[in-house]
A and B are shown apart, each in its own frame.
Chain A
Amino acid sequence: MEDLTLLLGFAGIFAFSAPLIFAVVGETLIERAGIVNLAVNGTILLTAMAGFAVAARTGSLVLGFLVGALIGAAVAWLIAFSSITLKQSQVAIGFVLTLLTRDLAYFLGNPYMGLAGPRLPSWHFPLLKDVPFLGILFFQHDWMTYLSYLVIFLGWWWIFHTRPGLILQGIGERPAAAYARGTDVNRLRYLYSVVGGALIGLAGPTYSLSVKAGWKGTISGLDGLGWIALSITIFGGWNPLQAAFGVYLFGFLQWLGLVLQPRLPGIPSQVLQVAPFPLMILTLLLVNIGNAEWVERTLAALPDRWRHFLKRLLRALRANPPASLGVPFEPE
Chain B
Amino acid sequence: MKREQIGLSLGLRLLAILLALLFTVMVLLLSGAPPLEAFRQIVLGAFGSYKRFTDVLVSWVPLLLVSSGLLITFTAGVGDIGIEGQITLGAIATTWALRLLQDSTLPPALSLLLATLAGMLGGAIWALLAGALKTFGGVNEIFGGLGLNFVATALTLWLIFGPWKRPGIGSMSGTEPFPQALWLPVLPGLRLSLWALVPGLLAWGMVFLLLSNTYFGLRLKAVGKNLRAAYLLGVPTWQHMMLAFLLCGALGGLAGSFQVTAVYHRLIPAISSGYGYLGLLVAMLVNFQTLWVAPVAFFFAALNLGSIQLPIVLKLDSSLSGVIQGVLVLFVLLLDGVRRRMERG
Q: Footprint of B on A, CB under 8 Å?
A: 38, 82, 85-89, 91-93, 95-97, 99-100, 102-104, 106-111, 217, 224, 227, 230-231, 234, 268, 270-271, 273-275, 277-278, 280-281, 284-285, 288-289, 291-292, 294
Contacts and interface: CB of A to CB of B under 8 A. Distances in A.
Contacts of A281: 133, 139, 143-144, 147-148, 151
A291 B142 CA distance: 18
Contact of A106 (B154, B158, B319): B319
Given A88-B337, A284-B139, A284-B140, A99 B277 contact: yes
Interface in B116-164: 133, 136-140, 142-144, 146-148, 150-151, 153-154, 157-158, 161-162
Given A107-B322, A110-B31, 8 more contacts: A85-B337, A88-B336, A97-B330, A103-B322, A106-B322, A227-B143, A274-B153, A292-B137
Contacts, number: 139
Nearest to B277: A99
B182 to A, nearest CB: 27
A82 B319 contact: no
A86 B133 CA distance: 31
Nearest to A275: B154
Given A82-B334, A82-B337, A268-B157, A224 B150 contact: yes
Interface string B302-345: 00000000000001110110110011011001101110110000
B63 to A, nearest CB: 15
Which of B157, B158, B162, B323 is the most central at the interface, judged by chain A CB atoms within 10 Å of its CB? B323
A264 B197 CA distance: 44
The list of the 10 closest CB pairs from A to B, nearest first, reads A86-B337, A100-B326, A103-B322, A288-B138, A277-B150, A274-B154, A270-B157, A106-B319, A281-B147, A110-B317
Given A86-B340, A288-B139, A270 B154 contact: yes
Which of A97, A217, A284, A294 is the most central at the interface, judged by chain B CB atoms within 10 Å of its CB? A284
Nearest to A289: B137
25 contacts: A86-B341, A87-B340, A88-B337, A91-B79, A92-B284, A93-B330, A99-B281, A100-B323, A103-B322, A107-B316, A108-B27, A110-B31, A110-B316, A224-B150, A268-B157, A268-B162, A275-B154, A277-B154, A280-B147, A281-B151, A284-B144, A285-B138, A288-B139, A289-B138, A292-B137
Contacts of A85: 337, 341
A103 B157 contact: no
Contacts of B280: 95
Contacts of B139: 281, 284-285, 288
B26 to A, nearest CB: 11
B333 A38 contact: no
A100 B330 contact: yes
Contacts of B157: 268, 270-271
A97 B322 CA distance: 11
Contacts of B323: 100, 103-104, 107
B30 interface: yes
Contacts of A224: 150
Contacts of A274: 150-151, 153-154
Contacts of B316: 107, 110
B133 A285 contact: yes
A14 B319 CA distance: 34
B337 A87 contact: yes
Nearest to A272: B154
Contacts of B277: 99
Contacts of A88: 333-334, 336-337
Contact of A92 (B146, B151, B317, B333): B333
Nearest to B149: A277
A103 B320 CA distance: 7
Contacts of B142: 38, 91, 95
Contacts of A278: 147, 151
Give the dominant DSSP class at A's interface. helix
Given A87-B337, A231-B143, A96 B138 contact: no
A91 B142 CA distance: 9
Nearest to B327: A100
Contacts of B137: 284-285, 288-289, 292
Contacts of A110: 31, 315-317
Which of A107, A234, A280 is the most central at the interface, judged by chain B CB atoms within 10 Å of its CB? A107
Nearest to A97: B330
A60 to B, nearest CB: 19
Nearest to B146: A227
Nearest to A106: B319
Given A104-B27, A277-B151, A292 B337 contact: no
B317 A107 contact: yes
Contact of A230 (B133, B143, B153, B322): B143
Which of B31, B143, B158, B281 is the most central at the interface, judged by chain A CB atoms within 10 Å of its CB? B143
A219 to B, nearest CB: 12
Nearest to B339: A86
A196 to B, nearest CB: 19
A105 to B, nearest CB: 8
Nearest to B329: A96
B31 A294 contact: no
Interface in B59-90: 79, 81
Nearest to A282: B147
Contacts of A288: 137-139
Given A270-B161, A271-B154, A291-B138, A108 B30 contact: yes
Nearest to B334: A82
A147 B330 CA distance: 34
Contacts of A38: 142
B138 A268 contact: no
A201 to B, nearest CB: 18
B88 to A, nearest CB: 12
Contacts of A227: 143, 146-147
A284 B322 CA distance: 30
Contacts of A87: 337, 340-341
